[in-house]
Structure 1
Amino acid sequence: MPSRSLFPTQFYEADLGDDALVAELADAARELAQEDRAGRAWSKQHGYRGYTSYASLDDLPLRDPRFDDLVRLLNRHVAAFTKDCGFTLAKKLKLDSLWVNVLKPGGTHSGHIHPHSVVSGTVYVAVPPGSGALKLEDPRLPMLMAAPARPDTFVYAEPQAGSVFLWESWLRHEVMPNAAKEDRISISFNYR
């Protein structure tokens, strides 16, 4: 074949590998959503339908051993992903931030990137049917000016409880609306 694929975009999908921890993290997330008044206030002020600890708590692995256990597993997944990406690293990436998301029915999160990070990702803790996929955007989209339509301009990654998704932080993504009747719970994070 005379043509070849250049500059691929890697996307990592795996199972966290600890179902008991996934159940414990669901409990931990619900506890935070009840106790973290600052996070609830930020979510309300910014129109986030549900709860996120994104702007209120930056010490979850120190605060709760369940999150510390999660980080140990995530470190392995991130190491595997960076190897798949062929990164040349002077030192291994470290967790920079980790936050809980409890997305109520009807909730969504518009398209965005994660500046100042190398790898970003999400662990899915509770994923009721219809609670929404992660929508990933072809990074070439702004440069495609007169290009014909392509079937893979957007890719929808469907999570399950225990799924780990990783991507390079510059990859634009969004959370599709939660059409389920229950909350979707996830934990997002950045490495740098």
Structure 2
Amino acid sequence: MTQIESLFATRLYRARLAKSGSALDPQELEASCYSIAEDDEAGQDWCEANGYPGYTSYASLTDLPWRFPVFKAMVKALDKHVAAFAEDLAFDLEGRKLKLEDLWINILPQGGMHASHIHPHSVISGTCYVAMPAGTSALKLEDPRAAMMMAAPPRFKDARRELQPFIYLAPEVGEVLLWESWLRHEVPMNMSEDDRISVSFNYSWA
């Protein structure tokens, strides 16, 4: 009898960030992102010095929840999602909780992109989506086994989802995606004329 099964799953968590009627108003969140980007001269300088398209607060601000109540509400919602994902992953946290390590804004204009990367020293990473205009880039996730497939032939384009070398996800405004921080991912070039806005974050085992 032949038996084939899938092993070593890579889990992805996807949900609405908050229930309707909550304090997380998408328009307020978008306005807050633009307000911070306009005032953050250190972040603007970092983006220019490093050839970063658009704006990110990653290297300049660590206090977004203090600056605007909408980010404080976001973290409160994220804590619950991350706890649920950690439970699904069967993490033995020894009675402790995963805690927010950092939270930052990403504003990608037309032509902007985020190259493939991971998030070292963190346990769970993710992104909340604030503005996703029509035609903007999806999130691209890479099969973590890719580096070990030295002599493997390419997959058929219609291969089963769990066998695809890359998965493209088109999140909606108000959604949150979570993954383990070692999972390599990228944002391909934004082909929309409008800004793609997101808020990314890391949780560590404090």
2:69 is aligned to 65
* SS at 1:6 equivalent: coil
In structure 2, C-alpha distance between the alignment counterparts of 1:144 and 1:22, rounded to whole Å: 42
Q: Partner of 1:117 in structure 2?
A: 122
Amino acid aligned to 1:136: L
User: Which is greater in Rg?
Assistant: 2
Q: 2:6 is matched with which residue? A: 5
Q: Distance in 2 between matches of 1:8 and 1:148?
A: 21
Offset from partner CA, 1:157-190 (integer Å, 9 cap, x none): 1111111010000000001111111001100000
Q: Distance in 2 between matches of 1:57 and 1:189?
A: 12
Q: Answer with 165-174 or 147-156: which moved more.
A: 147-156
Give the residue type in structure 2 aligned to 1:109. H
Match of 1:137 in 2: 142
Distance 1:54 1:68 in 2: 17
Question: Is the Cα contact below 8 Å between 1:121 and 1:166 reproduced in 2?
Answer: yes
Tell me how many residue pairs correspond in the alignment: 192
Q: Which residue number in structure 2 is paired with residue 183 of structure 1?
A: 195
Q: TM-score scaled by structure 1?
A: 0.96
- The residue aligned with 1:161 is 173
* Cα deviations by residue, 1:92-111 (Å, 9 ceiling, x for unpaired): 10000000011111100100
Q: Is the 8 A contact 1:21 1:70 kept in 2?
A: no
Q: Measure how far apart 1:18 and its partner are.
A: 4.6
Paired position in structure 2 for 1:47: 51
1:28 aligned residue = 32
Quote the RMSD (CA, aligned, Å): 1.2
Q: d(CA) in 1 for partners of 2:170 and 2:69?
A: 28
Please tell me the residue identity of whatever aligns with 2:104: W
Higher mean C-alpha deviation, range 42-51 or range 170-179 = 42-51
List per-residue Cα deviations over 1:113-168 (Å, max 9, x = no partner). Answer: 00000000000000001110110000000001112223410000111111101000
* Corresponding residue SS for 1:74: helix
Structure 2: where are the runs of 5+ without partners? Answer: none
Q: Distance in 1 between matches of 2:192 and 2:88?
A: 34
Matched-pair identity in %: 54
Q: Is the 8 A contact 1:141 1:153 kept in 2?
A: yes
Instruction: Extract unaligned runs of 5+ from structure 1.
Output: none
- Partner AA of 2:134 in structure 1: P
Q: TM-score, normalised by structure 2?
A: 0.90
Runs of 4+ more than 4 Å apart:
none
What is the Cα deviation at residue 88 of structure 1? 1.2
Q: Residue 186 of structure 1 aligns to a residue in which SS?
A: strand
Partner residue, 1:86: 90
Which deviates further from its counterpart, 13-22 or 72-81? Answer: 13-22
| Structure 2: distance between partners of 1:98 and 1:85 | 22
Q: Which residue of 1 aligns with 2:18?
A: 17
Q: Tell which deviates more after alignment, 56-65 or 11-20.
A: 11-20
